[in-house]
């Protein structure tokens, strides 16, 4: 990653306008970096509408997207649904959504370029069709836009929180409350920029949860995203004191089960179809390795 710093010599300008002019980028691209926690003012995470003041220091971390290979690759995909506007994919654990930060090729985007005829271009050549993401080691549903009209509609629904994304996770320990809401601020961990953390200087993050089943030492839990911050459910599970089983980044370093990642699965997805203007809903079962762990702890 590359970090750029600027000493502000004017007042009253929005940070997205300032950086777009400095870097020759679009404001939407700058907003994306702000949303992902890569832009700071005086070492505090900044929103894209932040008004700058004279003498402030702006720092910007640029993800390393050099030498990216965006060739189509014949990677097997579980395409749950597709039409001329959208495709709903059941992403397997271990597949990165798009290239960047050391990942070059063999991503979901490479697979989409092979299997689908069209993808929206709003997110540029690095992330064609990608409206929202799922972590590499999280499995489950995500919707892909096949044209710009669909992309704009889906992005608006995500922004307005009118779409529904339901995840299932197995948590360490026994969660006391049957249901609840976690509302915090999440930002880049200042000690490790690859991780997120609950920070007063972060962006608002809201997750609802509901217990599905309690085991002797674990809890099967449903999570509903109300915002879409990076690693949000994983950070909030840790904040509850019950990290996700298999999550070595936010959970226990010494895991009981031999897993390739966290037991977190995007099980249900609901949104309004961009052109048909009717609600559509999709679901997919837990992966075999997830079911195997549940059977072993009964």
Give me the pLDDT at residue 100, please: 66
CATH of 166-265, one of 3.30.2350.10, 3.30.565.10, 3.30.360.10, 3.40.50.10790: 3.30.2350.10
Concerning whether 247 is annotated as a catalytic residue, the answer is no
Marked catalytic residue, from 64, 135, 204, 208: 135
Q: Are 265 and 286 contacting, i.e. CB atoms less than 8 angstroms apart?
A: yes
DSSP per residue, 61-74 = EEP--TT-------
Residue 231, judged by CB atoms within 10 A of its CB (0-12, 13-18, 19+), counts as: buried
Give me the pLDDT at residue 162, please: 92
State the Cα–Cα distance between residues 111 and 94, nearest whole angstrom: 14
Mapping DSSP to helix (H, G, I), strand (E, B) and coil, where does residue 113 land? helix
HEC secondary structure over 170-227: EEECCCCCCEEEEEEEEEEECCEEEEEEECCCCEEEEEEEEEEEECCCEEEEEEEECC
The segments of the chain whose pLDDT lies below 50 read 65-69
Superfamily of domain 2-62 in CATH is RNA-binding S4 domain (3.10.290.10)
Give me the pLDDT at residue 66, please: 43
Give me the pLDDT at residue 124, please: 62
Give me the pLDDT at residue 87, please: 97
The enclosing H or E element of 76 equals none
165 to 123, 131, 141, 162, 285: CA distances (angstroms): 21, 13, 9, 10, 14
Angle between helices 15-23 and 27-35 (to 10 degrees): 120
155 to 3, 116, 294: CA distances (angstroms): 28, 20, 35
Predicted TM-score (pTM) above 0.85: no
Give me the pLDDT at residue 201, please: 85
Q: Where in the chain is the domain with CATH 3.10.290.10?
A: 2-62
Neighbours of 252 (CB within 10 A): 13
| Tokens (6 digits) for 262 | 């966290």
Mapping DSSP to helix (H, G, I), strand (E, B) and coil, where does residue 232 land? helix
Mean pLDDT taken over the chain: 90
Q: Where in the chain is the domain with CATH 3.30.2350.10?
A: 78-160, 166-265
Fold of 78-160: Pseudouridine synthase (3.30.2350)
Give me the pLDDT at residue 22, please: 77
């Amino acid at each position: 990653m590359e970090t750029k710093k600027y000493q502000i010599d004017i007042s009253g300008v929005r940070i997205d306008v300032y950086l777009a002019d400095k870097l020759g980028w679009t404001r939407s691209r700058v907003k994306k970096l702000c949303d992902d926690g890569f832009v700071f003012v005086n070492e505090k995470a900044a929103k894209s509408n932040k008004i700058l003041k004279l003498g402030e220091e702006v720092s910007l971390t640029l993800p390393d997207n050099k030498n990216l290979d965006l060739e189509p690759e014949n990677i097997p995909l579980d395409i749950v649904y597709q039409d001329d506007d959208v495709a709903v994919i059941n992403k397997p654990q271990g597949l990165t959504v798009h290239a960047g930060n050391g990942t070059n090729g063999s991503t979901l985007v490479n697979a989409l370029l092979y299997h689908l005829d069209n993808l929206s271009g709003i997110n540029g050549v690095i992330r064609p069709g990608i409206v929202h993401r799922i972590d590499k080691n999280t499995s489950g549903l995500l919707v892909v836009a096949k044209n710009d009209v669909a992309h704009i509609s889906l992005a608006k629904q995500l922004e307005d929180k009118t779409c529904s994304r339901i995840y299932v996770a197995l948590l360490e320990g026994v969660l006391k409350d049957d249901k609840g809401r976690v509302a915090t601020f999440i930002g880049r961990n200042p000690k490790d920029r690859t991780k997120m953390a609950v920070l007063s200087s972060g962006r608002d993050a809201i997750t609802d949860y509901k217990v599905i089943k309690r085991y002797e030492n674990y809890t099967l839990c449903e999570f509903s995203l109300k915002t879409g911050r990076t690693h949000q459910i994983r950070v909030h599970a840790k904040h509850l004191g019950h990290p996700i089983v298999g999550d070595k980044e936010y959970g226990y370093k010494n895991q009981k089960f031999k897993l390739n990642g966290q037991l977190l699965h995007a099980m249900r997805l609901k949104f309004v179809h961009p052109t048909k203007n009717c609600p559509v809903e999709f679901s997919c079962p837990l992966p075999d390795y997830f079911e195997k762990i549940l059977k072993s702890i009964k």
